[in-house]
């Protein structure tokens, strides 16, 4: 049952007490219905409650305004912090790009230095190999010469042992004297 149902029920009971027949009626006796008391009570509540209600509403309004101002201040602070964070992010990205470029340049310079050093090493190895090859060639030529000389001496010795003809001996002596500055 709602409020209206309750009011109707109470009105019916009040009327039923006033009229024995059980109909609906209005009690017009002011003292019995307490209208004066209710009017005084409503007047006192309105007079004194107005200040309390006004103070409560003003207090509530000031609390709401303070809360709104705090929220706006926090929003401004958050926006400021976001702006600063975005600036730091931009700076960090620029710094990262600078570091990447510097590392690429450093890597390029290191690569070129390593390639130059490798070229020098290759040239040095070629020169060393060429010198070693020349040395080995000279050794081989010297060995071949020594072997040829040894063979020539063996042949000369074997011819000397078999003997030289007299006219060959005279020619050899004459040639030797001519080489020495003789006739």
Using one digit for the tens of pLDDT, what is the confidence trace for 117-160?
999 999 999 999 999 999 999 999 989 988 888 888 888 778 77
Tokens describing residue 87: 């600036």
Residue 12, classified by CB atoms within 10 Å of its CB into exposed (0-12), middle (13-18) or buried (19+), is: middle
Domains of the chain, by residue range, sit at 31-121
For the record, the structure tokens of 144 come out as 């071949």
Is the pLDDT higher at 98 or at 163?
Answer: 98
pLDDT for res 20:
47
For residues 32 and 53, the model is more confident at: 53
Mean pLDDT of 39-58: 85
Q: Which tens digit of pLDDT belongs to each residue from 86-99?
A: 999 999 999 999 99
Average confidence score pLDDT of the chain: 83
Asked if residue 33 lies in contact with residue 27, where contact means CB atoms within 8 angstroms, the answer is yes
CA distance 154 to 93: 90
**pLDDT confidence of residue 26:** 65
Instruction: Report the pLDDT value the prediction gives residue 44, as an integer from 0 to 100.
Output: 85
Closest CA to 9 of 21, 24, 19: 24
Q: What is the pLDDT of residue 175?
A: 83
Least confident of 16-25, 95-104, 124-133, 163-172: 16-25
Q: Three-state SS for 183?
A: coil
């Amino acid at each position: 049952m709602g409020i209206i149902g309750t009011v109707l029920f109470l009105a019916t009971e009040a009327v039923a007490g006033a009229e024995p027949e059980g109909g609906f009626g209005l009690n017009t006796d002011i003292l019995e219905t307490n209208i004066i008391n209710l009017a005084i009570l409503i007047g006192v509540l309105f007079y004194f409650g107005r200040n309390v209600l006004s103070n409560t509403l003003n207090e509530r309004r000031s609390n709401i305004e303070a809360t709104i101002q705090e929220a706006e201040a926090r929003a401004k602070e958050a926006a400021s912090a976001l702006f600063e964070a975005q600036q730091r992010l931009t700076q960090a990205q620029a710094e990262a790009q600078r570091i990447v470029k510097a590392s690429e340049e450093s890597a390029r310079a290191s690569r070129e230095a390593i390639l130059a050093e490798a070229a020098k090493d290759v040239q040095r190895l070629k020169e060393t190999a060429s010198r070693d090859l020349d040395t080995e060639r000279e050794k081989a030529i010297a060995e071949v010469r020594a072997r040829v000389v040894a063979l020539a001496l063996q042949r000369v010795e074997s011819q000397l042992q078999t003997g030289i003809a007299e006219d060959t001996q005279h020619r050899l002596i004459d040639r030797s004297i001519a080489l020495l500055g003789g006739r």
